[in-house]
Structure 1
Amino acid sequence: MPTNARSAARPTYPGVHVEELPSSTRTISAVTTSVTAFVGHTRRGPLNEPVRVTGFTDFERRFGGLGSRSAVAHAVHQFFGNGGGVAVIVRVAAAGSGRAACTALESTGGHSESRVLEVHAKEPGVWGNGLRIAVDHDTPHPDDTFNLRVHDARGDTRESFTGLSMDARHGRHAPTVINAASRLIRVEAVGEGRPDPSGTVSRPFGRELPHLAVGLTVKIGGVEREFTLHDPDRDGPAPTTVAELALLLERKLRALPDAPGKHAFAGAEVTAFGRRLQVVAGSTDPDDVVRFLGECANDLGLEASVNPPVFPLAGGEDGAPPGPRDLIGSEADRTGIQALRGVADVNLLALPEIAGYDRTEDMLTVVSAAQRLCAERRIFLLVDAPAGWVSADTARAGAAAFDAVRGDHAALYFPHLWLTDPLTGRLRAFPPSGAIAGVIARTDAERGVWKAPAGTGARLAGVHSLTVDLTDRETGLLAPLGVNCLRTFPVTGPLVWGARTLEGADALDSEWKYVPVRRLALHVEESLHRGLQWVVFEPNDESLWQQIRLSASSYLHTLFRQGAFKGTTPREAYFVKCDHETTTAEDVANGVVNVLVGIAPVRPAEFVIVRIRQTSGQFAL
């Protein structure tokens, strides 16, 4: 067997020999640019846990959809409506608020009722009050195991777990199986025994079934009906097995008239397990208990245990919207915005709730903490103007407060948006950050991260109008303060008309004045950071430096060809330097390799000046 490429290529006959050799060139791939994190209050979802969603339907499934008190939910809706592709959601609630709905399943196996299994909604919130639990013993081992199903308030089965055991040594131990797989509930064993089945369960029948040509009275909820269990003339031969008896009883119950608008009799289910029957009303109303009345029912043993058709969860409470401290969170505990420290791909951050804070100081506290996180994690923050900015004059006066948080990793947008609230059908004002993030994602996909997310192509989809209709003069006063204005123009409608960072005020004269320049730099930094991980622990010599130069230059040249940099030649657009000048002998001794990268970003044409000169009517050809 050949042990290396040279021995593998040794010819054994005359002719042309083809050999594939591995490339020594390592490529640097471009990272994402528009994955947006939304942090704040939602109707449901795991607390302080980043969850990636790829559409609003996904958000509805994981976080409960739109809510009247959830600015984040509406922002996510606007994000996907304006072209967003991927979002990361972090649900945050006020400390100490919110409760998970729960119920306790009981067992009567030891002739005394005791709680054996507590069922809790997976996350806090009133949403859990709509969950219903159904239990049956229809398993291959009906004396030891059970099945558990989770229904929603409409009766639809959302999750099902079969063959469960309360024995911790069993391979299908209920808490272990359910807690690992369920997205709706978690359970805790609190006693011995297994949960009783839902519905009404009979005593075990003997080897031979009793006489079945008897009249029975059944009551489901408040409705009472009478019927004959077996009529030889109409029903044919009498059942000889418990399974046949189950089919007969189910057919009889379903033939009985229901109360108006009810489905308790029509949807009744009778299941045979072992030598027993389980009778469950065709309803998820806990009051629709099936009761068989009279001596005949007692003789047949149809009421060994009586339970509701489902066990409802109750007591769930929504958490209060988070305050500034809750939103900032703890770096040690990874709560609030600090939960994003464990997420690899986040490019934009939106905090739509802070626009509604009564105190500007609280808003600025959150913005300051968020900017520190963004600087560390190479994220760009989208800041909504305070809701109290109701005119250009209040915006000019309020902009001075942001001097304390001027930074190049954030941009401020004004005014808010008038949109139709899907929950009420009426117009309502919303912070713009969700829609802005969608516009940025759309612009990145169509043009690139180096294109300013502003101009006639940056239309705001679904926006009825703006809360403040700014004029050219008012825009001219706000833009030099680092405020990005949203404008409405004829034909195009509402759009983004500004691309400055919070450090983009004219008075600061910052090199990071423009949003696309800062975001392009973040993109390049993160791509190089990830693409050069292979360098760690490699021999620090000229061969390594050459590979670094080749990899970085190849990546930057791709951006140059796409139009990310100014200049007509690569030499004018970028440079990569990694040699004995950047990495000295002392650096090599200390295990350091220094790479110097320079780029010439394209700045947006913020002011387009057209000069017109009048002539006397003489034109020279």
Structure 2
Amino acid sequence: MQTGHPGVYIEELPSSVRTISAVTTSVTAFVGHTRRGPLNRPVRVTSFADFERRFGGLTAQSAVAYAVHQFFGNGGTTAVVVRVAAAGTGEEACTTLESTEGHSACPVMTVHAKEPGVWGSRLRLAVDHDTRDPEETFNLRILDADGSTRETFTGLSMDPGHGRHAETVVNAGSALVRADVIGEGRPDPSGTVSKPFADELPGLAVELTVKIGDVEREFTLHDPDRDGEPPRNVAELALLLERKLRALPDAPGRRAFAGAEVTAFGSRLQVVAGSTDPRDTVRFLGECANDLGLEATVNPPVFPLAGGADGDPPGPRDIVGDEAGKTGLHALRDVDDVNLLSLPELAAYDSTDDMITVISAAQALCRERRIFLLADAPGSWADVDSVRAGLSAFDPVRDGQTALYFPQLQMTDPLTGRLRSFPPSGAIAGVCARTDAERGVWKAPAGTEARLAGVRSLSVRLTERENALLNPLGVNCLRTLPAVGSVVWGARTLQGADALDSEWKYVSVRRLTLHVEESLYRGLQWVVFEPNGEQLWQQIRLDASAYLNTLFRQGAFKGATPREAYFVKCDRETTTDEDVARGVVNVLVGIAPVKPAEFVVVKIQQTAGQFEI
């Protein structure tokens, strides 16, 4: 700052403190089969309505769909869904649009559903030339099977140099379809399109025969006594013809005539039936129709997409996927914020070996990405004895970043209204999210506050004695308590078996540690390439301590003072001259997480005598 005259000068200096922000704790990933959606691509959804739009909602074949429904129903806020299908299965619905502008029909554009699945076969395309430039451009509408318009693209051109090139505009703007231009010329309009009318309309007091589908009717196009003055232009002719068609008697249960639409564009008419049934093609028959040019291009009212197939349910290999191709579980490598992982389809596997194979692959990803895995007990475990007998199969995957929950949930299936068993991991993830929001990630997602919403009962009703047999083995039990309902009544990881004596015994301790690790990992990125000296070390200590002190004040650590709760060490003891020469700075962070009060012991002693007041 330059000083030019006597006085007080003020200069604002940037703060040297870099805040370490807490990362998310309960974004849950679901991997498995869904009705629709992009294959092997993670999609973030923030409500079940969002899931329905992107993945087609509930279907009896999708355990993931129900798990996501239960996740949001129990307090979840954000999910990441990866759709997986069996390799080599699943087809996209498609159709090919043709053009007769060159007098012989030839294919000009193929339209595919954007994702594989039967859902794509419900899509319909409507094409018209009612644009500002009706001789060069066209409009494309994507409809549902019920006729409702889903998407509309106007003023499209087949010229690659045009600003509204059909392939470019549709592929960039559509969430439903993709288009490929394969020829020259515009797609023919849907429906029946007349030849061009001259400036002066011909005589219209003629008898016409029209056939829609298999229903044939006759009518007078213009009756001077009833219709008054004849139309003066093509637009007025379109209104007259539409009124006449809609007045014709329809077939029982049909609205082909009653909903007929006639559009004027340029000097032509386009006539379509009020139906999305491709069989309801409008045909004008006879010599009079030919004289009026109504026996021209004849197409169905819509062009249906066909051939969509959902594909076979994914097997273990499909869910594990390929790391190089980022398929299956490995699709999550492209997502930064994922804290929990649910694989609800595993509970239905007949082979425990297949289940362990997928869990093992999931654990490798979870360790690398600092994700906590919520595992469902096999659906074949029908009582405590079967759990104790089958638990040895989980010995190879006893990991501190995995928790196992038993038994399954009995809930009303929204599709059928009947009780059905569901794997609990989706609902558990929702409970974790709700607990994190209300209390913090350091609070165990268990206890009377961890109620399972919508649960009618449990597939196995456990007693306290049976719970006492499974809890020391690292199995988290779900219980039904009087006046409370169904709750999560266990908070141990798979390393939480008493015999293992692991430091990662509790779910809350492991999740808090993962949260701290990820927050520090992201919050200290600025350190890279900074001068490695005392000034840097002091700044690291300051930033990390400020972040940990915030957690301490919120109740994440035990101890009466910050000194008892955590420490951050970064100095010449942790970073030697050798480390500096190698470009390494070592930061040692220690925390004392609070552990859940798993066993509450109340001792009562009866005393003799009287109390003095």
TM-score range, shorter chain: over 0.9
Deviation of residue 172 (structure 1)?
A: 1.6
Q: 1 CA distance for matches of 2:10 and 2:208?
A: 87
Deviation of residue 19 (structure 1)?
A: 4.5
> Which amino acid counterpart does residue 609 of structure 1 have in structure 2?
V
Q: How many residues align?
A: 613
Deviation of residue 496 (structure 1)?
A: 0.1
Structure 1 range deviating more: 535-544 or 458-467:
535-544
* 8 Å contact kept, 1:131–1:313: yes
Which secondary structure state, in structure 2, belongs to the residue aligned with residue 477 of structure 1? helix
Q: Which residue of 1 aligns with 2:469?
A: 477
TM-score by length of 2: 0.98
Q: Specify every segment of 5 or more residues in structure 2 that has no aligned partner in the other structure, as ranges.
A: none
- Pick the aligned partner of 2:394 from 385, 389, 402: 402
Which secondary structure state, in structure 1, belongs to the residue aligned with residue 546 of structure 2? helix
> Which amino acid counterpart does residue 283 of structure 1 have in structure 2?
S
Which secondary structure state, in structure 2, belongs to the residue aligned with residue 464 of structure 1? strand
Deviation string, structure 1 residues 402-428 (Cα, Å, up to 9, x no partner): 111110111000000000001111000
- Pick the aligned partner of 2:255 from 237, 260, 263: 263
> Which amino acid counterpart does residue 474 of structure 2 have in structure 1?
G
Tell me whether 1:548 sits opposite 2:540 in the alignment: yes
Q: Which residue of 2 aligns with 1:247?
A: 239
Tell me whether 1:526 sits opposite 2:554 in the alignment: no
- Pick the aligned partner of 2:76 from 57, 81, 84: 84
- Pick the aligned partner of 1:324 from 313, 316, 320: 316
Q: Which residue of 2 aligns with 1:616?
A: 608
Q: Which residue of 2 aligns with 1:562?
A: 554
Deviation of residue 169 (structure 1)?
A: 2.2
> Which amino acid counterpart does residue 123 of structure 2 have in structure 1?
L
Map 1:291-440 → 2, pairs under 5 A? 291-440=283-432
Which secondary structure state, in structure 2, belongs to the residue aligned with residue 225 of structure 1? strand
> Which amino acid counterpart does residue 315 of structure 1 have in structure 2?
G
Q: Which residue of 2 aligns with 1:3?
A: none
> Which amino acid counterpart does residue 509 of structure 1 have in structure 2?
D
Deviation of residue 620 (structure 1)?
A: 6.3
> Which amino acid counterpart does residue 208 of structure 1 have in structure 2?
E
Deviation of residue 396 (structure 1)?
A: 1.0
Q: 2 CA distance for matches of 1:364 and 1:224?
A: 65
- Pick the aligned partner of 1:132 from 113, 119, 124: 124
Deviation of residue 618 (structure 1)?
A: 3.9
Q: 2 CA distance for matches of 1:209 and 1:22?
A: 78
Q: Which residue of 2 aligns with 1:54?
A: 46
Which secondary structure state, in structure 1, belongs to the residue aligned with residue 243 of structure 2? helix
Q: 1 CA distance for matches of 2:493 and 2:16?
A: 41
Map 1:13-32 → 2, pairs under 5 A? 19-32=11-24
- Pick the aligned partner of 1:214 from 201, 206, 227: 206
Q: 1 CA distance for matches of 2:211 and 2:609?
A: 101
Tell me whether 1:232 sits opposite 2:199 in the alignment: no
Deviation of residue 174 (structure 1)?
A: 1.3
> Which amino acid counterpart does residue 439 of structure 1 have in structure 2?
V
Deviation of residue 140 (structure 1)?
A: 1.6
Tell me whether 1:578 sits opposite 2:566 in the alignment: no
> Which amino acid counterpart does residue 520 of structure 2 have in structure 1?
L
Q: 1 CA distance for matches of 2:488 and 2:9?
A: 61
* 8 Å contact kept, 1:43–1:63: yes
Q: 1 CA distance for matches of 2:609 and 2:379?
A: 55
- Pick the aligned partner of 1:593 from 578, 582, 585: 585
Deviation of residue 18 (structure 1)?
A: 5.2
Q: 2 CA distance for matches of 1:193 and 1:501?
A: 64
Superposition CA RMSD, Å:
1.2
> Which amino acid counterpart does residue 188 of structure 2 have in structure 1?
D
Q: 1 CA distance for matches of 2:385 and 2:258?
A: 67
Deviation of residue 264 (structure 1)?
A: 1.6
Q: Which residue of 2 aligns with 1:515?
A: 507
Which secondary structure state, in structure 2, belongs to the residue aligned with residue 508 of structure 1? coil
Which secondary structure state, in structure 1, belongs to the residue aligned with residue 354 of structure 2? helix
Which secondary structure state, in structure 2, belongs to the residue aligned with residue 118 of structure 1? strand
Deviation of residue 256 (structure 1)?
A: 2.0
> Which amino acid counterpart does residue 346 of structure 1 have in structure 2?
V
Deviation string, structure 1 residues 175-233 (Cα, Å, up to 9, x no partner): 12111111111122222222110000001111111001112121112222222211223
Q: Which residue of 2 aligns with 1:183?
A: 175
> Which amino acid counterpart does residue 17 of structure 2 have in structure 1?
T
Which secondary structure state, in structure 2, belongs to the residue aligned with residue 617 of structure 1? coil
Q: 2 CA distance for matches of 1:258 and 1:346?
A: 57
Q: 2 CA distance for matches of 1:216 and 1:542?
A: 95
Deviation of residue 17 (structure 1)?
A: 5.8
Q: 1 CA distance for matches of 2:449 and 2:595?
A: 17
> Which amino acid counterpart does residue 40 of structure 1 have in structure 2?
G
Structure 1 range deviating more: 487-496 or 183-192:
183-192
Which secondary structure state, in structure 2, belongs to the residue aligned with residue 506 of structure 1? coil
Deviation of residue 319 (structure 1)?
A: 1.4
Q: 1 CA distance for matches of 2:485 and 2:146?
A: 42
Q: 2 CA distance for matches of 1:511 and 1:420?
A: 39
- Pick the aligned partner of 2:483 from 477, 488, 491: 491
Tell me whether 1:158 sits opposite 2:150 in the alignment: yes
Deviation string, structure 1 residues 451-481 (Cα, Å, up to 9, x no partner): 0000000000000000000111111110111
Which secondary structure state, in structure 2, belongs to the residue aligned with residue 440 of structure 1? helix
Q: 2 CA distance for matches of 1:620 and 1:525?
A: 56
- Pick the aligned partner of 2:37 from 45, 56, 72: 45
Tell me whether 1:503 sits opposite 2:495 in the alignment: yes
Q: 2 CA distance for matches of 1:606 and 1:552?
A: 30
TM-score by length of 1: 0.97
* 8 Å contact kept, 1:11–1:17: no
Deviation string, structure 1 residues 505-561 (Cα, Å, up to 9, x no partner): 111100000000000000000000000111111111111111111110000000000
Which secondary structure state, in structure 2, belongs to the residue aligned with residue 480 of structure 1? helix
Deviation of residue 21 (structure 1)?
A: 2.8
Deviation of residue 484 (structure 1)?
A: 0.2
- Pick the aligned partner of 1:167 from 159, 172, 179: 159
Q: 2 CA distance for matches of 1:459 and 1:543?
A: 50
Which secondary structure state, in structure 1, belongs to the residue aligned with residue 109 of structure 2? strand
